[in-house]
Each structure stands twice: as structure tokens, then as C-alpha cells.
Amino acid sequence: MKFIKIIIFTGVISAIGAFGYSAMKKTGFQMPLTAKDASTAQKIIKSAPINKQSAITQISQLQTTPKKPSYLPNITDSQIPKGFAREQLSSYFGQIKIYSVSYSSSETTPSEIKINSDFQDKNKSIDISGWKIKSNLRELEIPKAINIYEPSGSSQETDIYFESGNNLNIYSNISPIGKNFRLNKCIGYLENSYKFTPPLSSNCPPIYTRDEIATFAGYCQTYIMSIGSCKLPDTNYYNSLPGTDQGNACRNFLNPISYNGCFQKHRNDSDFLSKEFRTWVNQNTLLDSQHDRLLLFDKNGFLVSEYVY
């Protein structure tokens, strides 16, 4: 009985093997190589030319080529300030920078921090009011500023929106008009009424063309051409003009020479607004007199820029 079971089992195994071999042949399955076939294959492989140096170079390149990080890929590890990790950097890192710091202990010359921008997207506009600058001594918050300073002086301060190429100057003293503002091509006229430190730009638009004044009396033309940029006409001269047609014509021309007159004439010019904002923070102890480290943070507390002096 035991012998019969062995015969039956052997028969089943043989049948399965035969069926499997037949199926493998139908499906294209290749049977294992014989010893002779394996020997032939080894000879073919050994005879194939191999450029060992090329292979080594390719492997070396794969091992040494660093993978670019997904966040801020254009910022190298060496550009990340000490004490910070890549994930602590603002998305504006490298685009908005503290580019100049000037300490002053003089009462007449304020300390100054300058910030500029260079965006990859030239149409971008970033609200930087509320960002913080931290030194080793203390910190300050970037304030608001008037974007378009109206002649009435009633303009309200709003958030500072930085575009590519804009500059922000932060002064440690107090604004003479009690407000921060963006410069424009007429702003220098304010120097006639207020003392700014440092002074405002004196590069206002010309007040005349030769054609405009060619019919005026000679004395009037001479005086008009003597008026400096962003300067007001002298009151004594104005009052001394005769009540004649020529005197009145000269007086009428001098009347609008002021911030208001310049503003009304040029406010719609494409280049009326400057790229510069000025703010005054009344903090004389922000900077160290010798050496300091300034860090600029965005509203979410991420690092935007570092400056060391």
C-alpha cells in the first residue's frame, strides 16, 4: 500500500512538471541556461569593451552634485545668516535688504538705516509696515507713511507698499512735520517752511521756459531766472513790483511758485512720485556706537535681511 502511494505521488509530480514545461514554452518563457550556454555568455560579457573612467566619473557626479532645496532654491547655505535655518527665512529674503547703516551721536545728524528692494517680479508690491528691525540693543517697527503728500498737509499715513527699486530711509530723530512720507518731485519746497535733517531734495521741476517769460520786462526775467530750484520768490521783491501791466504780469507769474503750485502742475506726471520713503522713529539708542547686528523680520517673524557692522 505504501509503495502504491509513492508511485501515485511520483506520477502526479511528473504530470505537473510536464504541464508546466508545456505552458512555459507556449508563453515564451526561457528555460535556464545549460552549463555550456552560461560559459558562452561569460565569454561574450568579458569581451565587451568597458570605459571604466567614464563610469567612475558618472558615479562621482551622482554622489557630489547637491540637490537644490525646494524652498528658496536660489539661496545657498552659505548665504543663510548664522543661527538661522532655511525654513526660518522669509520668502522675501534676498529681495528686500538692509543695505546701509550709519550711527551718529550728534544732535544735528541722526542715525540712519536704509532698506531697499529688488524683486524678481517687477510688478510685485509688498506691505512692509509692521515689519521689525532688531539690533543687539533694542527693536523698532517700520511705521506707516504718507504716499502722496497733499499741499494742505492733511494726508493720512498708510502702510508702506514696497515695489522693486524702492528705498526706505529710517532716521533716529523726529519729523519736522510730525509725519512720515514718500518723496515726490515737488517735496523740496517744504524746506522753505521746515528744517529737515538731512535736507530734502532740492531738485524740483523748472519753474519756467524761455518762451513763457520772453514777453516779460527784462527785470522780471532776470529775477525769475535767479530763483533757485525749490525756492520761493522773495516777498520784498514781490511787493516792490510796480502796479503796471508789466509789474502785474511778473507778479502773476510768481504767485504759483510754491509746493501747492508745483503739486497742481505736476501731480499727474508719470515720474511725480519718488522711489524713496522717509520715516522718523525718535529712537536715538537703537544702534550700537561701535559694532552691531541688525535683523529685519517680516510680519510673520521670518528673517528677511541681516546687516553687520
pLDDT at residue number 25? 44
Collapse the DSSP code of 29 into the 3-class scheme (helix H, G, I; strand E, B; otherwise coil) and give the result.
coil
Question: What is the DSSP pairing of strand 161-163 with strand 139-141?
Answer: unpaired
Euclidean distance between CA atoms 12 and 15, whole angstroms: 5
Q: In the chain, what are the domains? A: 77-185+272-308 (2.60.40.1260)
Write out the three cell numbers for 103.
550711527
Euclidean distance between CA atoms 17 and 118, whole angstroms: 76
DSSP letter string, 156-173: PPB--EEETT-EEEEESS
Euclidean distance between CA atoms 153 and 146, whole angstroms: 10
Average pLDDT for 253-258: 98
Euclidean distance between CA atoms 50 and 294, whole angstroms: 58
* Residue 21: pLDDT band with limits 50, 70, 90: very low
> Global pTM?
0.76
pLDDT at residue number 8? 36
- Overall size of the chain counted in residues: 309
Residue 103 gets which letter from DSSP? -
Per residue in 132-174, pLDDT tens? Answer: 999 999 999 999 999 999 999 999 999 999 999 999 999 999 9
